[in-house]
């Protein structure tokens, strides 16, 4: 069954030559961590869809070692995958005579056809997937994981628990089997030719140019991926796009937000190098990244004959002849450009002639206006004998003036019409200039494409010349030797040699595939047989236990018995108790698949489950507690939490963790053991980012060097407290334990980092818990996060001012949230702060069972000190009814000292802390801290004044006192 997607084959025809926006991966995300550098990921074409939409579509594939899944996304930036392929139970194959780079992955009931850009990349993918499947199959054989946890960890724990955790101890691979596998391995490039790995996401992909690259079946997933780019805090602000735009004023192309110089260009399949004939500007060529780029014709000055000649007469030769198709296109474009230039020249000439005509008309108009005033003749003499013709002069002048006025009006109309025509010509000129700019832009595109085509043709010409020279040399050699020239048989022989080499590679691959599948089948059969043996052994052990306890119940139930029967009963009971208290010793011979004892000597965190120095009754109680904790850890609710974490981490494979309501809800459920190192490291980095950004990367090492060179006043107290930190944890139980030196380094570095505090008892326990899951430097920063970010300023100073204030705030919250219990304590005058003070100082270390302790720390490192108040109230709420039954202050205080060790159900405790205690705003705690801080400071000031008064009085009284010994009196 294939993925049902709509779209056309990405190898059909390329998109039209237009400037597209290609989304690029942020360089900081690509080179941010060493873990991402070794990822198996890259672009492959996947066959999907139905009917006419069936074809190959580019997909971004990422291998997840936790589940041995090969996830595929539409783009590297997507948060949700379109689907996955189970590699653990898959088999691989490819056809030598099939399409280049095409291979097949078959899983249970599914077949996936994939295509790599080249045969070398295909071989690299197949070899890597075989290796991942082999590693997964060998790690899966340990059988020491829960059914829902991941067999392989992408980010293994870095703390002390990672060294002795049974879940991370795998079987050693056979050297002979590895040698046979290496003999059958194919010769491939170590990095897939740059087409595989996180660096391949930098280049452009076919997904950005294929307009039909979408999935109807996964349409909702694509919409969510698209919306994730728009959400704040999802990493969308780090994604940048590369745009190419034209600058019309400078008549050239410029790169806006260009990618870094080390971006490798994506290599496309040869089928994608076809031309598209849908438009007059539809060339799409790919530059050869191995050849230097030639300067493009970007600064063209239109109207120059040199450019015209270079565009018309540029020789474009391929195999000795011009490319007819390209020549016709260039000629048509050049003719159109010449025609537009000629039309522009004509319009300019016409405009110049019209301007000259208007100038002449304006000059004529000014001349006519000057001559318009009539010249009056002198007044005639009053002589009646004058001839009558002399009186007609003025009449003729008046008619001429009338004609001249009419002529002038006509000229004015002509001038107005010419002015209007001139305005129209100006508008037409502007439109022609705009059209000319558009044509210049198109010509720039064509010249860019022409430059790329010229490079391609030049490369082909060089290859042809080289081949021609080789052919001529071979023909010369053949002619000298008298042998006939190469013929069709020689070509067939070369083809057969290539086919033979391909079949040899395929034979090696298939032999290795058969070998690995055979070993996988045998391992599967061995696991099945081992599980059957485990089931039989456990069933037999259960029967034995039931029979022993039935005997015990029967013997205990006997009301009266003789002395001999009493001795037998005591022997049976003591023997059963010894069997029940027997813990797994480290030197005991273990079964390779399962352990014979349900409770080991140490839990997964390194704490001792059954103390040795305690009495027999207390040992039995500790064993029962360990059994209950183990049974609670295997409930359906715990399994559900693990599955939710797996799904969440799989969805964040392509991006870092971000603070969100979903992550907050998961943190409040507790982090699974195998993911706790990664999550704690992220939480600490988030809280101390403002400190680390302004410090050198080797800041921690610098502090260690200072601590080694200079003595510190706190070093003596640190040495005294090292072995007293967690004596019941094997990582700190002896001076040679692995955690002692690391704890010493962290505390010494912190004492130099914060000389105001230096060292305070309690810091050693905080650092010891952090070191169980973090390395030294991260544990150092976690201590800074707790002391300098989470807690108030004077929490760990000599006066412990902040700790005293929090105890008063907690009393107020007890009165508000648990009024009955608070009144009960007040009635019997029980000061519970004597117990809770240590809870707040060391965040419940040595106060609750280890499983609950680390769940509290999960939420504490994410949300801060408010979690301490929540769980402190929840612990009292959990045992409220038991406290109310006690009617004696001594009994209440005695129960206060150990009642937290009787709380085992972490789910119930978390529901009380995060549900029953709501609402619980941090603003309320801050206000009450401010109120009680002033009161405590005032009390400390009064105590200091009383102390100084007492010291002065004692000094005064000692001046008048003299001590006389008994010996002196006797003398």
pLDDT value of position 714: 87
Q: What is the DSSP letter of 283?
A: -
User: Between residues 908 and 88, which one has the greater pLDDT?
Assistant: 908
Q: What is the pLDDT of residue 45?
A: 93
Show the 3-state SS of 213-260: CECCCCHHHHHHHHHHHHCCCCCHHHCEEEEEEEECCCCEEEEECCCC
Query: What pLDDT shows up at residue 676?
Result: 94
Among 808, 778, 804, smallest CA distance to 792 is for 804
Q: How far apart are CA 150 and CA 605, in angstroms?
A: 19
Q: What three-state secondary structure class fits 202?
A: coil
**CB burial of residue 795 (10 Å; 0-12, 13-18, 19+):** buried
Q: Which residues pair with 62 in a beta bridge?
A: 41, 71
Cα(272)–Cα(12) distance, integer angstroms: 7
Band of the pLDDT at 371, cuts 50, 70, 90? Answer: low
Cβ contact 236:429 at 8 Å: no
On the question of pLDDT at 5 being above 70, the answer is no
Joined tokens for residue 601: 């000597």
CB-count exposure of residue 658 (10 Å: 0-12, 13-18, 19+): middle
SS3 626: helix
Residue 496: pLDDT band (50, 70, 90) is confident
Exposure class string for 884-899: b at 16+ Cβ within 10 A, else e: eebeeeeebbebbeeb
Angle between helices 324-371 and 305-313 (to 10 degrees): 150
Distances (CA, A) of 79 to 59, 230, 655, 692: 14, 12, 7, 28
Cis amide bond preceding 23, omega within 30? no
- 517 band by pLDDT with thresholds 50, 70 and 90: confident
Q: Scan for tokens 């001076």, then name that residue.
A: 735
pLDDT score, position 633: 77
Closest CA to 785 of 669, 692, 665: 692
* Residues 6 or more apart in contact with residue 651 via CB below 8 angstroms: 79, 80
The tokens describing 700, both together, are: 């921690």
Q: Which residues are 654's β-sheet partners? A: none
Residue 792 has pLDDT above 60, yes or no: yes
**What are phi and psi for residue 883, nearest 5 degrees?**
-65, -40
Q: Rounded CA gap, 869 and 300, in Å?
A: 74
Find all residues with CB under 8 Å of 580, minimum gap 6, and list them: 620, 623
* Distance of alpha carbon 838 from alpha carbon 847, whole angstroms: 8
Of the listed ranges 180-189, 487-496, 929-938, the least confidently predicted one is: 180-189
Give 608's DSSP letter: B
Most confident of 7-16, 150-159, 424-433: 424-433
C-alpha span between 739 and 648 (Å, rounded):
32
Q: What pLDDT, on the 0 to 100 scale, is given for residue 407? A: 84
Residue 899 DSSP code:
G
Q: What is the residue whose two structure tokens read 């300067």?
A: 295
Strand partners, 46: 57, 114
Please tell me which of 342-356, 357-371, 935-949, 954-968 the model is most confident about, judged by mean pLDDT. Answer: 935-949
**pLDDT score, position 392:** 44
Q: What is the pLDDT of residue 836?
A: 95
Which residue, 548, 851, 541, is CA-closest to 670?
851
Q: Which residue intervals of 270-323 are DSSP H helices?
A: 305-313
For 169, the enclosing helix (H) or strand (E) is none
Computed on alpha carbons and rounded to an integer, the radius of gyration of the chain in Å comes to 45
User: Three-state DSSP class for 338?
Assistant: helix
What single string gives the DSSP state of each residue in 473-489?
HHHHHHHHHTPPPP-HH
Region of poorest pLDDT, from 210-219, 347-356, 413-422: 210-219
* 58 vs 538, more confident: 58
Give how far the C-alpha of residue 117 lies from the chain's centroid of Cα atoms, to the nearest Å.
Answer: 26
Q: Give the start-end residues of each E strand in 79-201.
A: 83-86, 91-93, 102-107, 110-115
- Percent of the chain whose pLDDT exceeds 90: 27
Backbone angles phi, psi at 527, to 5 degrees: -65, -40
Choice between 203 and 712, residue whose per-residue pLDDT is larger: 712
Residue 766 scores a pLDDT above 90: yes
- Winning range, highest mean pLDDT, from 3-7, 507-511, 561-565, 833-837: 833-837
Among 65, 273, 12, 159, residue whose Cα is nearest residue 732: 159
Each residue of 287-305: pLDDT tens digit?
444 444 444 333 443 344 4
Cα distance between residue 303 and residue 436, in whole Å: 12
* Predicted local distance difference test score (pLDDT) of residue 548: 62
Q: What is d(CA 603, CA 609) in angstroms, rounded to the nearest whole number?
A: 6
Rounded average pLDDT over 699-728: 90
In this structure, the number of other CB atoms found within 10 A of the CB of residue 150 comes to 23
- Looking at every residue in the chain, the average pLDDT score rounds to 74
Kindly give the pairing relationship between strand 69-73 and strand 55-64.
antiparallel
Of 495-509, 621-635, 693-707, 749-763, which gets the smallest average pLDDT? Answer: 621-635
In the structure encoding, which two tokens stand for residue 74, read together? 């539409």
Check residue 204 and give its pLDDT.
57
Residue 935 is encoded by which pair of tokens?
Answer: 């009161």
The pLDDT tens digits for 78-110 are 888 888 999 888 889 888 888 888 999 988 878
Between the alpha carbon of residue 6 and those of residues 10, 43, 56, 85, 220, the distances in Å are 12, 19, 10, 20, 14
């Amino acid at each position: 069954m294939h993925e049902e997607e709509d779209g056309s084959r990405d190898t059909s025809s390329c998109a039209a030559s237009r400037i597209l926006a290609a989304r690029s991966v942020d360089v900081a995300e690509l080179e941010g961590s060493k873990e991402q550098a070794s990822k198996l990921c890259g672009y492959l074409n996947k066959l999907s869809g139905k009917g006419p939409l069936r074809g190959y579509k580019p997909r971004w594939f990422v291998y997840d070692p936790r589940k041995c899944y090969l996830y595929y996304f539409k783009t590297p930036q997507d948060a949700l995958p379109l689907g996955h392929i189970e590699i653990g139970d898959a088999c691989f194959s490819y056809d030598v005579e099939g399409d280049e780079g095409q291979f097949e992955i078959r899983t249970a009931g599914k077949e996936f056809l994939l295509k790599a850009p080249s045969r070398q990349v295909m071989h690299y993918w197949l070899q890597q997937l075989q290796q991942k499947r082999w590693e997964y199959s060998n790690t899966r054989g340990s059988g020491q994981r829960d059914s829902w946890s991941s067999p392989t960890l992408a980010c293994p724990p870095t703390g002390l628990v990672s060294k002795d955790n049974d879940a991370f101890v795998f079987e050693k691979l056979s050297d002979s089997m590895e040698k046979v596998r290496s003999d059958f391995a194919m010769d491939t490039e170590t990095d897939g030719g740059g087409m595989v790995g996180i660096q391949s996401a930098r280049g452009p992909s076919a997904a950005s140019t294929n307009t039909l690259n979408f999935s109807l079946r996964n349409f909702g997933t694509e919409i969510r991926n698209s919306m994730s780019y728009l959400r704040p805090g999802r990493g969308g602000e780090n994604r940048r796009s590369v745009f190419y735009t034209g600058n019309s004023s400078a008549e050239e192309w410029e790169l806006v937000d260009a990618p870094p110089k080390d971006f490798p260009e994506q290599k496309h399949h040869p089928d994608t190098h076809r031309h598209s004939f849908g438009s007059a500007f539809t060339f799409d060529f790919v530059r050869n990244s191995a050849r230097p780029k030639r300067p493009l014709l970007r600064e063209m000055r239109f109207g120059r004959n040199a450019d015209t000649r270079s565009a018309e007469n540029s020789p474009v030769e391929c195999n000795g002849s011009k490319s007819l198709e390209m020549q016709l296109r260039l000629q048509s474009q050049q003719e159109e450009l010449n025609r537009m230039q000629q039309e522009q020249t004509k319009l300019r000439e016409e405009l110049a002639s019209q301007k000259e005509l208007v100038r002449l008309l304006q000059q004529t108009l000014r001349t006519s206006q000057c001559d318009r005033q009539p010249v009056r003749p002198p007044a005639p003499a009053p002589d009646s004998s004058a001839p009558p013709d002399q009186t007609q002069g003025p009449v003729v002048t008046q008619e001429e003036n009338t004609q001249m006025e009419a002529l002038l009006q006509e000229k004015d109309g002509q001038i107005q019409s010419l002015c209007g025509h001139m305005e129209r010509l100006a508008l037409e000129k502007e439109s022609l200039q705009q059209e000319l700019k558009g044509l210049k832009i198109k010509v720039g595109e064509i010249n860019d494409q022409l430059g790329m085509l010229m490079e391609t043709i030049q490369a082909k010409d060089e290859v042809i010349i080289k081949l021609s020279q080789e052919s001529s040399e071979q023909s010369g050699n053949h002619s000298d030797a008298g042998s006939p020239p190469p013929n069709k048989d020689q070509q067939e022989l070369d083809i057969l040699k290539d086919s033979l080499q391909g079949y040899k590679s395929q034979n090696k691959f298939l032999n290795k595939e058969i070998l690995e599948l055979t070993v996988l089948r045998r391992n599967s059969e061995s696991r099945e047989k081992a599980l059957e043996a485990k089931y039989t052994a456990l069933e037999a052990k259960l029967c034995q236990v039931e029979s022993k306890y039935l005997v015990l119940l029967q013997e205990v139930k006997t009301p009266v018995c003789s002395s001999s029967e009493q001795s037998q009963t005591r022997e049976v009971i003591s023997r059963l108790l010894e069997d029940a208290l027997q813990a797994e010793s480290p030197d005991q011979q273990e079964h390779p698949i399962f352990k014979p004892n349900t409770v080991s000597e140490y839990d997964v965190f390194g704490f001792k489950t059954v103390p040795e120095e305690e009495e027999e009754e207390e040992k039995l109680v500790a064993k029962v507690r360990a059994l209950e904790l183990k049974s609670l850890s295997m409930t359906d609710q715990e399994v559900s939490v693990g599955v939710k974490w797996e799904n969440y981490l799989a969805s964040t494979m392509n991006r870092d963790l971000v603070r969100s309501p979903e992550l907050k809800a998961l943190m409040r459920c507790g982090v699974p053991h195998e993911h706790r190192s990664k999550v704690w490291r992220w939480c600490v980095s988030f809280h101390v980012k403002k400190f680390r950004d302004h410090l050198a990367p080797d800041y921690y090492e610098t502090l260690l060097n200072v601590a080694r060179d200079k003595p510190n006043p706190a070093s003596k107290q640190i040495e005294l407290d090292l072995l007293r930190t967690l004596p019941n944890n094997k990582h700190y139980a002896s001076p040679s334990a692995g955690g002692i030196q690391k704890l010493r380094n962290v505390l010494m570095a912190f004492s130099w980092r914060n000389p105001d505090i230096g060292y305070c008892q309690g810091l050693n326990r905080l650092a010891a818990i952090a070191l169980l899951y973090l390395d030294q430097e991260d544990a150092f920063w976690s201590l800074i996060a707790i002391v300098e970010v989470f807690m108030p300023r004077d929490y760990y100073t000599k006066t412990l001012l902040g700790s005293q204030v929090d105890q008063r705030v907690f009393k107020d919250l007890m009165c508000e949230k648990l009024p009955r219990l608070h009144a009960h304590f007040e009635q019997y005058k029980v000061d519970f702060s004597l117990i809770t003070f240590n809870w707040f100082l060391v965040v419940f270390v040595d106060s609750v069972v280890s499983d609950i302790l680390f769940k509290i720390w999960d939420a504490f490192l994410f949300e801060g000190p408010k979690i301490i108040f929540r769980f402190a109230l929840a612990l009292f709420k959990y045992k409220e009814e038991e406290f109310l039954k006690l009617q004696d202050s001594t009994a209440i205080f005695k129960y206060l000292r150990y009642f937290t060790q009787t709380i085992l159900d972490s789910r119930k405790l978390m529901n009380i802390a995060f549900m029953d205690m709501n609402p619980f705003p941090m603003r309320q705690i801050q206000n009450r801290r401010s109120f009680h801080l002033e009161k405590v400071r005032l009390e400390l000031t009064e105590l200091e004044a009383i102390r100084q008064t007492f010291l002065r009085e004692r000094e005064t009284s000692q001046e008048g006192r003299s001590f006389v010994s008994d010996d002196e009196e006797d003398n």
